[in-house]
Amino acid sequence: MLGDRRVVATGLGVVSPAGSGLDAFWQGMVGEPAHEPKDGVADFDAGAQYDSPKELRRSDRVIALGLAAAAEALDDAGELGLDPRRIGIVFTTGGGVGTFRENVFVHDEKGARRVSPFAIPSYMPNGAAAQISMRYGLQGPCECHGTACSSGTNALGNAARLIAAGRCEVVLAGGGEAPINEAVVTGFDRTGGASEQGLCRPFDVDRDGFVVSEGAGLLVLESLEHALERGARIYGEILGHGCTTDAHHITTPDPDGTIAKGALQVALADAGLRPGDIRCYSAHGTGTEFNDSMEANLVAEIFGTDGPAVCALKGSIGHAIDGSGAVEAIAVLLSFVKQTLPASKNHRTLDPSFPPIDVVPDGKSRKWTPAPTVSANFAFGGHNSALVLAPYE
């Protein structure tokens, strides 16, 4: 178990190419995404997140994405009525990479004295967490945790533990990323993992890589005790969290998948569940050759032939890097409310070399009876993470 106390989600906020705001996002999950993931959240109004154009200029896009998700999540959760020292934040991101790049150009073209005094506060990965804490006066632990593409899932696990251990009553948890600039996109292209067709096709025979995108997701996690006391709406419960490290290669998952499986096994043990209890698996599903092959085998080995439905959402949300895990967890919690499993956009034909896992295909979202679900992510650096979410009972 996570700790001595139960932890539930009572508020959600999301900004994603699939759709921004919970309603639009869900439409993107069961229908067409609002924007092509490669274009990012094309209609996002960063300026609307600030009181003045000056504040906007002093901030990075990832901070604006975080502020937007925080505003929705806190509004959704309703009045918390807590000492601000009992409310924490874990917001993960690689940082304000766009701002830093612009300042390299300013530095080289106009001189060192013209570099923005806000370059560091905008770039530093804790910038978004800090801005959110300042805007809402939250004085509990305020941290950014980084494990690349598995950051979001680990952020939720780490945040849930703060509550389970009694260190916080509420934690605003999740992450975001705004990596769409020429330098970072080229960097991802050069890893050899990015899709040349610009489409993420998770577990599909025609997949050719991930699509770098952007977005942010935040969840209000709360002790069950406090949520019940204030009569909060409960989306679901965080039952368990596991993380392990391949210690194999900096970008390629260990093809054997043993250590990655360990993360799921730890999460299941943490939750006190058996593999057969899991009826949905929200996949990392980046659409790369190596990840999807490792992950398909892992799902088959852990869950067997009568395994859970597999939802792979990166066809609609793209790969929002540090933001992915939280956005995917939000989709899972919404699937509990809507009693519908989202479709795996761009998944048509399962790679025939894979074991027969039950991927929910493109356009075929399906009704389901909400049940315990695993949401997993695997990252550059070999960080494996898994979260067990369940309808509240």
Catalytic residue numbers read 149, 284, 319
User: Could you say which of 16, 154, 282, 340 contacts other proteins (CB under 8 A)?
Assistant: 154
User: Could you say which of 44, 281, 378, 380 contacts other proteins (CB under 8 A)?
Assistant: 380
Structure tokens belonging to residue 126: 């804790």
Task: Check binding of 51 to other proteins (CB under 8 A).
Answer: no
Taking the least distance from each CB to other proteins, the nearer of 4 and 306 is 4
- Residue 378 phi, psi (nearest 5): -130, 140
Taking the least distance from each CB to other proteins, the nearer of 38 and 233 is 38
User: Could you say which of 48, 165, 197, 304 contacts other proteins (CB under 8 A)?
Assistant: 165
Residue 380's SS3 state is: coil
Task: Check binding of 54 to other proteins (CB under 8 A).
Answer: no
Q: How far is the CB of 233 from other proteins (least distance, A)?
A: 26
Give Cα 325 to chain centroid, integer Å: 2
Structure tokens belonging to residue 272: 């006190």
What is the 3-state secondary structure of 40-99?
CCCCCCHHHHCCCHHHHHCCCHHHHHHHHHHHHHHHHHCCCCCCHHHEEEEEECCCCHHH
Give burial (CB, 10 Å; 0-12/13-18/19+) of 218. Answer: buried
Which 177-196 positions form the footprint of other proteins (CB under 8 A)? 182-184, 186-192
User: Could you say which of 159, 200, 379, 388 contacts other proteins (CB under 8 A)?
Assistant: 379
Taking the least distance from each CB to other proteins, the nearer of 148 and 283 is 148
Pick from 25, 142, 121: nearest CA to 72: 25
Taking the least distance from each CB to other proteins, the nearer of 18 and 171 is 171
Are 68 and 13 a contacting pair, CB within 8 Å? yes
Interface mask (CB under 8 A) for other proteins, residues 328-347, using x and -?
--------------------
How does DSSP assign 293-313, residue by residue? HHHHHHHHHHH-TT--EEE-T
d(CA 201, CA 342): 15
Task: Check binding of 24 to other proteins (CB under 8 A).
Answer: no
Taking the least distance from each CB to other proteins, the nearer of 154 and 346 is 154
Which 66-125 positions form the footprint of other proteins (CB under 8 A)? 84-85, 89, 94-95, 97, 100-101, 103-105, 107-108, 112-113, 115-121, 123-125
Which 236-275 positions form the footprint of other proteins (CB under 8 A)? 243-251, 259, 262
Residue 11's SS3 state is: strand
Q: How far is the CB of 42 from other proteins (least distance, A)?
A: 23
